[in-house]
Structure 1
Amino acid sequence: MLCKVQKIIDRSDTNAPAPTPLSVNFREYDGGAAIAQAALASEIALAITYNGLSQAVMMVSPGNLEDFIRGFSVSNDIVQDQSEIYDIHLTHFDQAVQADVQICSRAFWALKDHRRQMTGTSGCGLCGVEALEQALPQLQILDPVRLPAAEHLIGIRDRIEQAQQMARSSGALHAALYFDTQGEALICREDIGRHNALDKLIGALQHVGINSRRGFTVVTSRCSLELIHKAVRARLGTLVSLSAPTALTVQWAIKHRLNLIHVPHRNAPRIYSPA
């Protein structure tokens, strides 16, 4: 795909926030309505290779891409921590970005071995087992940490809205935020994808060396099992969701000692883990 689009810039040191939302013309469903403009969220295709090996192509919001790649690499168990990422080189096209990531030999050989196992079992009736192992992986059990103070969750939705700068102008964006031990929002990452937003936040936290075992992380999206996987792999201490978790999500949070809190629209926050 990338060879069919125009290359516009090549650089390796960009981690800029997302550009200003695009203004798009529209007209209300009325024959006499005038043409107006709306600011809409941007998205691009991002292709990621590790040591020259193609791994994934996904649609993302075009901002904080290095944060996303770092978080994606950790939360998808490609590297164990940021020290195993040696370099990230981004090549920009008009509607796409190619990310060439250099990782350590241990991580690369583990990635190649996993891909080889997937290829070897795809024709022998075991591919379903491989898929289940990915959906229900073996994860480390975290050391328990204190729950955040109850007052830090008061008015959390209003504070999140203030931190979501891109969503205020365009909408259609999920967010993941880190709040410190004083209840202050330090980092906010936004993306069209809920997984992407959390990956961007994880990458930002690890890149600047913030201890995410303290404070708490908030996701504005549905709290699915995949988000629990990412939180545990990134060794977050507390995950707060604005949408109710599933029963399986709660079970996994309890099992892996990840604090899990749901903040409903009109009711008091609910602690699901620890039980």
Structure 2
Amino acid sequence: MPNQVDQSWELSDANASAPNPMSVTYREYDTDASFSQAVLASEIALAITYNGLNQAVMMVSPSNIEDFIRGFSVSNDIVEDINEIYDIRLSHFDQACQADVQISNRAFWALKNHRRQLAGTSGCGLCGVEALEQALPLLNILESAPLPPAEHFRGLRERIEEAQIMGKSSGALHAALYFDTNGSAVLCREDIGRHNALDKLIGAMLQAQIDTHCGFVVVTSRCSLELIHKAVRAKFGTLVSLSAPTALTVRWALKHRLNLIHVPHRNAPRIYSPI
């Protein structure tokens, strides 16, 4: 399986379908201030159905929606891989989008069975057990991956800023990026939600048949436990965050053999897993 794609095409294509940021009027907190225009990030409500079954409604940035659907489906354990996604049909409305997703019979049966379990435990005092299983799921242990060379982190924040096209124009957007084995930024996905940005990146990497175990992924947001879940399910080798992880996040990265690196703003990168 290839582990690299053409960088120039992917970085430009990543935002080719992105909507223009919205321009809104504001004035500064001064009675004599004149009105000005500000460019702000866009967001819409996205409703997802699987084989006609309503699954989720969430607020997302209206770009790379199909990447998000693929990544969300894999990282939330709805499908085992994107080959179980047969079709994605999007219906666009003024401030919303409906995604009708067709998945395999195996995945749909598992999804319906899981929903029945949720319904069955909601009134019997066991709903807390189900909630804990979702928060602390049983995940497969990854194969260990080599750590990226130290030089791949030099000027990392500046390279992220160059790749984050929408964020530069409007702000208020998280980003998730894939860097290949040469340390080059190949893919960038942005969203108002940090989970959504990572799901979009996962979907784009799987669609491009990139070996997720090679290279490294960077998230510009706080590295929460949910992002570790998604990284392990997507079989990442290395996850890099620009914000410090929590102690529990480090424990889970160590347990599942996920390389976890924090790149502080002014200090050298810190390796939390492996140690």
Instruction: Give the shorter-chain TM-score range.
Output: over 0.9
Alignment match, 2:107 = 107
DSSP-derived class of the 2:143 partner: coil
**Counterparts of 1:154 and 1:241 in 2: how far apart (Å)?**
14
Q: What amino acid is the match of 2:46?
A: L
Post-superposition Cα deviations, 1:144-172, rounded to whole Å, max 9, x if no partner, equal: 01110100001101110111000100000
**Counterparts of 1:17 and 1:141 in 2: how far apart (Å)?**
36
Post-superposition Cα deviations, 1:46-90, rounded to whole Å, max 9, x if no partner, equal: 000000000000000000000000000000000000100000000
Alignment match, 1:84 = 84
Structure 1 unaligned spans of 5+: 1-14
After TM superposition, which residue ranges in structure 1, 4 or more long, deviate above 2 angstroms? none
Alignment match, 2:95 = 95
**Counterparts of 2:26 and 2:135 in 1: how far apart (Å)?**
41
Post-superposition Cα deviations, 1:91-113, rounded to whole Å, max 9, x if no partner, equal: 00000000000000000000000
Matched residue count: 261
Q: Is the contact between residue 16 and residue 64 of structure 1 (CA under 8 Å) also seen in structure 2?
A: no
Q: Is the contact between residue 67 and residue 203 of structure 1 (CA under 8 Å) also seen in structure 2?
A: yes
Q: What amino acid is the match of 2:125?
A: G
Q: What amino acid is the match of 1:182?
A: N
Alignment match, 1:181 = 181
Alignment match, 2:66 = 66
**Counterparts of 2:82 and 2:70 in 1: how far apart (Å)?**
7
**Counterparts of 2:92 and 2:31 in 1: how far apart (Å)?**
41
Q: What amino acid is the match of 1:258?
A: L
**Mapping 1:22-61, distance limit 5 Å:** 22-61=22-61
**Counterparts of 2:262 and 2:244 in 1: how far apart (Å)?**
6
Alignment match, 1:152 = 152
Q: Is the contact between residue 178 and residue 187 of structure 1 (CA under 8 Å) also seen in structure 2?
A: yes
Q: What amino acid is the match of 1:215?
A: G
Q: Is the contact between residue 45 and residue 57 of structure 1 (CA under 8 Å) also seen in structure 2?
A: yes
Q: Is the contact between residue 258 and residue 274 of structure 1 (CA under 8 Å) also seen in structure 2?
A: yes
Alignment match, 1:8 = none
Shift of 1:32: 1.2
DSSP-derived class of the 2:151 partner: helix
Post-superposition Cα deviations, 1:103-128, rounded to whole Å, max 9, x if no partner, equal: 00000000000000000010000000
**Counterparts of 2:184 and 2:69 in 1: how far apart (Å)?**
25
**Counterparts of 1:161 and 1:20 in 2: how far apart (Å)?**
18
DSSP-derived class of the 1:63 partner: coil
Q: Which has the higher contact order (CA 8 A, sep 6+)?
A: 2
Post-superposition Cα deviations, 1:225-250, rounded to whole Å, max 9, x if no partner, equal: 00000000000110000000000000
**Counterparts of 1:120 and 1:18 in 2: how far apart (Å)?**
41
**Counterparts of 1:119 and 1:16 in 2: how far apart (Å)?**
41
Shift of 1:17: 2.9
DSSP-derived class of the 1:90 partner: strand
Q: What amino acid is the match of 2:142?
A: L
TM-score scaled by length of structure 1? 0.94
DSSP-derived class of the 1:133 partner: helix
**Counterparts of 1:18 and 1:72 in 2: how far apart (Å)?**
19
Q: Is the contact between residue 74 and residue 81 of structure 1 (CA under 8 Å) also seen in structure 2?
A: yes
Alignment match, 1:198 = 198
Alignment match, 2:5 = none
**Counterparts of 1:21 and 1:89 in 2: how far apart (Å)?**
24
Alignment match, 1:140 = 140
Alignment match, 2:6 = none
TM-score scaled by length of structure 2? 0.94
Residue 167 of structure 2 corresponds to residue 129 of structure 1:
no
**Counterparts of 2:20 and 2:181 in 1: how far apart (Å)?**
31
**Counterparts of 1:55 and 1:223 in 2: how far apart (Å)?**
25
